[in-house]
A and B are shown apart, each in its own frame.
Chain A
């Protein structure tokens, strides 16, 4: 079992839909949780960064962490075609700064 599991998709939704992207993990030492967005043929770009359980909101994006279930989510409201990308979750243990990445979920938002 990999330390971080993420469904590769693709996930195809119509414009305006609410998107839910998820990762599960097995390492209870993970304390920092990130979501990166990667457009085709580009480098990953940090979208959201959370430390504790709970929700963090930034515009149309909400990151949710449930440490008891070892489950994190990224919600995208009012999805746009420009949100079409691969979304990678990443996690870091306390005392480290090297992330363990999920394999990414490919999201397609069609007009």
Chain B
């Protein structure tokens, strides 16, 4: 299946822990993104990578660190998790020829207790 995939789908953890979410796309896209969707359903961009380089870093605590080992993968590491980090995190990708058209992964539902 050609798609954007994320693991894990669900993540339940305690405050203060460090966790990672992985994302892979096999669509051949060169731009990847991380979004956060809060409980009110607002989707907000966190980071954007183009060909493994960080190009957008919105106002996000530096506890969040993206890493792109290659242009098909963009992982998100979160240190010292806080209650307010509970949300659904979506990875997305887009082709260079049409960056406005973004393809989203299924999401990772993070719950911080």
Contact = CB atoms under 8 A, between A and B. Distances in A.
A75 interface: no
Interface string A79-95: 00000001010001000
A97 B43 contact: no
Interface stretch (A20-28, A59-67, A99-107): A99-107
Contacts of B56: 98
Interface centre among A42, A86, A98, A104 (most CB of B within 10 A): A98
Contact of B43 (A45, A46, A92, A101): A101
Interface string B59-99: 00000000000000000000000000000001010100001
A46 B107 contact: no
Contacts of B99: 97
Contacts, number: 48
Interface residues of B, number: 23
Given A8-B41, A98-B45, A103-B42, A43 B90 contact: yes
A45 B104 contact: yes
Contacts of A97: 31, 94, 99-100
A100 B108 CA distance: 21
Main secondary structure of the interface of B (DSSP, over half): strand
B4 A43 contact: yes
A43 B4 CA distance: 10
A71 interface: no
Contacts of A104: 41
B56 to A, nearest CB: 6
Interface of A: 8, 32, 34, 36, 41-46, 49, 86, 88, 92, 97-99, 101, 103-104
* In the complex, the 9 A-B pairs of residues with the closest C-beta atoms, listed nearest first: A43-B104, A97-B99, A101-B43, A104-B41, A44-B104, A43-B106, A32-B100, A98-B45, A103-B41
